[in-house]
Amino acid sequence: MDELDEKVLRHLVRDGRATFAQVGDAVGLSASAVKRRVDRLVESGALRGFTAVVDPAALGWRTEAYVEVRCDGPVAPAELRRRLVEIPEVVEAVTVTGRADALLRLLAADVQHLERALERVRDELDVAATESVIVLSRLLDRARPGT
Amino acid sequence: MDELDEKVLRHLVRDGRATFAQVGDAVGLSASAVKRRVDRLVESGALRGFTAVVDPAALGWRTEAYVEVRCDGPVAPAELRRRLVEIPEVVEAVTVTGRADALLRLLAADVQHLERALERVRDELDVAATESVIVLSRLLDRARPGT
DNA sequence: CATGAAACTATATAAGC
DNA sequence: GCTTATATAGTTTCATG
Question: Domain locations in chain B?
Answer: 3-44, 56-134
**Which nt is closest to the CA of B4, judged by C1'?**
D1
A 68-127 → B contacts, CB under 8 A: 68, 77, 80-81, 84-85, 90-98, 100, 102-103
Burial status of residue B31 (CB atoms within 10 A of its CB: 0-12, 13-18, 19 or more):
middle
- Which among A85, A134, A136 has the least Cβ separation from residue B140? A85
Q: State in words which class domain A3-44 has.
A: mainly alpha
**Contact status, residue B101 vs residue B70, Cβ threshold 8 Å:** yes
Tell me which H or E stretch contains A82: helix A77-84
> Least CA distance to B49: which residue of chain A?
A53
pTM of the model: 0.94
Whether residue B140 has pLDDT greater than 90: yes
Q: In one letter, which amino acid is A124? A: E
Whether residue A18 has pLDDT greater than 80: yes
- Which among B54, B95, B143 has the least Cβ separation from residue A47? B54
Whether residue B92 has pLDDT greater than 90: yes
Residues A94-135: pLDDT tens digits? Answer: 999 999 999 999 999 999 999 999 999 999 999 999 999 999
Whether residue A74 has pLDDT greater than 90: no
**What confidence score (pLDDT) does residue B145 get?**
80
Mean pLDDT in residue range B14-18? 97
Mean pLDDT in residue range A134-145? 94
A56-134: CATH topology: Alpha-Beta Plaits (3.30.70)
Which nucleotides along chain D are within 7 A of a protein C-beta?
A: 1-4, 8-13
Confidence grade of residue A56 (pLDDT, cut at 50, 70, 90): very high
CB contact under 8 A, B146 and A48: yes
Q: Of B3, B13, B39, B54, which to mutate for an interface test with A (greatest number of A Cβ within 10 Å)?
A: B54
Say yes or no: B138 contacts chain A, CB-CB below 8 A: yes
Residues B23-40: pLDDT tens digits? Answer: 999 999 999 999 999 999
Q: In one letter, which amino acid is A142? A: R
Distance CA A24, CA A7 (A): 10
CB contact under 8 A, A77 and B137: yes
Span CA (B20) to C1' (D5), Å: 18
Looking at beta carbons, which residues of chain B come within 8 Å of A13? 51-52, 54
Whether residue A147 has pLDDT greater than 80: no
In sequence order, the 6+-apart residues with CB closer than 8 A to the CB of B83 are B124, B125
Confidence grade of residue A145 (pLDDT, cut at 50, 70, 90): confident
Q: Of B20, B139, B141, B142, which to mutate for an interface test with A (greatest number of A Cβ within 10 Å)?
A: B139
Distance CA B129, CA B36 (A): 50
B90 closest CA partner among B111, B77, B107, B67 = B107
CB contact under 8 A, A59 and B145: no
